[in-house]
Structure 1
Amino acid sequence: MGTRGLLAAAVSLVVAVAVAPAATAVPEAATSPDPNLTVTSVTLGRAAVAVSGLNTVAVPVTVVGGYKTTEPGTVFLNVFLDRTGGTGPARYMVAALLGLVSGTVQSGTWKGSLYVPSTANGTFKVTGVMEGTIIDGSTGSMTTPTPFAGPSIAVTGLHLPRIGVSIIPKVVPFGSAYTARVAITDSATGKPYGSRINVQITWDNLCVEHDGDRYLTNTAGIAERVYPAAAADALNCVRLRGRAFDTAGLGWSVSRPGIVGATLSRTSVPVGTIVPVNGTVAGAPSKCAVVLQRLTGATAWRGVSQDVVRQSGRFTVLAQPPYVGNVIYRVYFPTCGRFQAGYSKSFVIRGT
């Protein structure tokens, strides 16, 4: 499934990540434009529009062209527009399911509407046209939109929606369910819109394709979802849905605790002998650093060896007792991405 991303402002209590929560009719395996589609012209009914809050403005769209087909059924066209300027979170728009109003499928005129949201705020240009009856999900087509350099529309967006998410608990234990609390507010005032808003709060592949997991906020713009434990290691997202594309969205990764275990290969060695210390970090945060620390004095810990976590979650650091007697060590895992800092239990290697 091909996607075009929308990213709202990052929020606290989660690790915000780039996400493309808007599904389109362009599949991942798409290879080339549809050879059966010919586009002669694309016309937009307005060159500029102002939109506020959660509203949309319908802009007429007309396509003149032809589609070579012998299959029965109705042919619909979809017009794609890409951002060329401005700062709104929407990166593209689609005028979906334009219907044939005159002529023939092979040489005719299609009309429909582009529903412009406030989050478009900026300038968009027609870049392509595609045949298809499904926009919000895969058509199964192996084609991309047929390129067409069409007209532009300038969008003035006011009171754009802002999406915030809090995760409860803030750091999610392994094997535990958790709650996502979504808040949608007016970015200009910081206040809710006062209406109930339909949102999609979901995870994994539903962040980029098809529909489902719909929730309705209260009038304060708040909605909550309890996620299953399995969702904590996948992409999570909230999508503010439009008619053929998402008007806003936010993706995040859940924070995880840094749980470190370490096992000694030997507990007593001659001074200066290297002792491998093997261990694991829960969740296998590969390529993250781990540091073997030695206690010096009463409270000071000094790094003496370092490794990175392998894909298996395992690591090996090297201890080397510098003096006769008990030498106290621990393994430190610094904060890495969504994984929080953690320590292993301290352990002793006796130098002889």
Structure 2
Amino acid sequence: MRPRMIAALLVAPLIGLALTAPVAQAAPDPNLTVTAARIPRTTPVLVSSLNTVPVTVEVDAKYTWPDADPNTTLFGILERTAGSGQVNYLFTTPLKRYEGTTANGKWRGVVNVPSTANGKFELTGVMVGQFSPGSGDMTDPTPVPGVKPTLTVTGSNQPKITARVIPDPLPFGKGYSIRWSVINGQTGKAYGTKLRVWLANDNGCVESFGGPVYLTDTNGYVTKAYPSSLAEYGNCLLLPGNPAPNGGLNVRPNRPGIVTAAPFETSAPVGKIVPVHGQVAGQPFGCPVHLQRLYGATAWRTVSSARVRPASGVFTLQAQPPYKGLIYYRVSFPACYNYRAGVSKTFTIRGT
């Protein structure tokens, strides 16, 4: 059978969420047709804490690829339609054929439902192979026709994941550590046992599951040190699941707002536009910067705005001396993305 690319279903920056909305990559597999799908269970799934409950999923399909393996498996994708939880998508384990042929058969398997799936889900799509965030054909799921089978989940004692980055904010070029915590979100207390978790970085948070494996202590804490080179990428804790994580949290260290700025001229006729060039450390492109002028003794008012340019982190603002004399300016950088707010040193332009 041919492998399938499913990483598009997991992109996000995972800010508090392990699984997010799918991003269309291509058309569905032209060789796969889903004729019917069923979730025989009609009662709500009651699941607590870190447990999972297997629920049967059945799919009738035709897979007509000429080189198809007789043992071809499928997997289903269930999408949240109501409720709230860390997981917005559920994936079945491999659906194995139990009747008919690969070209026209019936497949059956299970979806392991975690408490973090609290809410209502619909079986919306099917793909060939088994769920894997690795590389392969870039195809979209084949839609389930007609009324979609539904699954209602009542999750209790759902795990709550938090992260504390040390130091905060993180200076540029410095290593850091993250103290992760997994506790019972309903009681606010630890589960009282060591928990198996996955700690990963960058693409490892969305394109490979199964490790590296770490254990929390009995209070739900685990601390990991990271080199400075990983600070600009996502760092995640994922709750192990089969075949996908049962939830997770992704964080990026906060950065200080370090702004430098200087006018092209320090003296200019009243009304002349004077470019003010500057840079924000870390290159937070697209973030706003504001040129502010001092009014009276303490009031700073914005007189010009711009955005940080990509790649360089630089910006250009426009000052315009309104009167003769020494005029005080600064550049303000409001909090943006994971960057804290900051201001440049005050500088002057003399109106002449």
Q: TM-score, normalised by structure 2?
A: 0.83
Q: Aligned match of 1:86 in 68, 83, 86?
A: 83
In structure 2, the partner of 1:55 is: 51
- CA distance in 1 between partners of 2:292 and 2:125 (Å): 58
Structure 2 residue 159 is the aligned partner of structure 1 residue 161: yes
SS at match of 2:246: strand
Structure-1 separation of matches of 2:324 and 2:105: 91
Partner of 2:63: 67
Q: Deviations over 1:158-212 (max 9, x none)?
A: 1111111222112122222222221111111011112222223333222222224
Partners of 1:323 and 1:136 lie apart in 2 by 62
* Aligned CA distance change for structure 1 residues 324 and 163 (closer, same or farther; 3 Å): same
Flag the 1:92–1:269 CA change in 2: closer, same or farther, 3 A. Answer: closer
Q: Return 168-177 or 185-194, whichever deviates more.
A: 168-177
User: C-alpha deviations, 1:293-337, integer Å up to 9, x for none?
Assistant: 344555554444433323332222334455665444332222233
Question: 1:118 deviation in Å?
Answer: 1.0
Find the residue that maps to 2:239 and give its secondary structure.
Answer: strand
Structure 1 residue 50, shift from structure 2 partner: 0.8
Unaligned runs of 5+ in 1: 8-15
Q: Write the mapping of 1:202-217 to structure 2, written as runs, cut at 5 A.
A: 202-211=200-209, 212-217=211-216
**Which is worse superposed, 273-282 or 255-264?**
273-282
| Residues 324/146 of structure 1: CA separation in 2 closer, same or farther (3 Å cut) | closer
Superposed counterparts of 1:104-119, under 5 Å: 104-119=101-116
In structure 2, do the counterparts of structure 1 residues 297 and 91 end up closer, same or farther at CA, with 3 Å as the change threshold? Answer: closer
Amino acid in structure 2 at the alignment position of 1:262: A
The aligned runs of 1:224-263 (5 Å cut-off) are 224-263=223-262
Deviations, residues 85-134 of structure 1 (Å, cap 9, x unaligned):
33333222222212233443334443322211111222223223322034
Post-superposition Cα deviations, 1:215-236, rounded to whole Å, max 9, x if no partner, equal 3222211122323323332333
Identity between Structure 1 and Structure 2 (%): 41
User: Which residue of structure 2 lines up, in the alignment, with residue 189 of structure 1?
Assistant: 187
How many Å separate the matches in 2 of 1:17 and 1:104?
A: 39
Counterparts of residues 7-156 of structure 1 (less than 5 Å): 18=15, 21-22=18-19, 29-45=25-41, 47-68=43-64, 69-72=66-69, 74-140=71-137, 142-148=139-145, 149-156=147-154
Question: What TM-score, normalized to structure 1?
Answer: 0.83
- Which is worse superposed, 81-90 or 184-193? 81-90
1:282 aligns with 2:278: no
Is residue 262–residue 278 contact of structure 1 (8 Å, CA) maintained in 2?
Answer: yes
Shift of residue 40, structure 1, vs aligned partner: 4.3
* Mapped contact 2:61–2:105 kept (Cα < 8 A): yes
How far did 1:349 drift?
3.5
> Alignment partner of 2:46: what SS?
strand
Change (3 A) 1:214 1:298: same
Moved more, 153-162 or 133-142: 133-142
Please, what is the CA RMSD of the aligned residues?
Answer: 3.2
Larger CA deviation: 183-192 vs 246-255: 246-255
Count matched residues.
343
How far residue 255 of structure 1 moved from its aligned partner, in angstroms, is 1.8
Between Structure 1 and Structure 2, the one with more strand by share is: 1
What does residue 3 of structure 2 align with? none
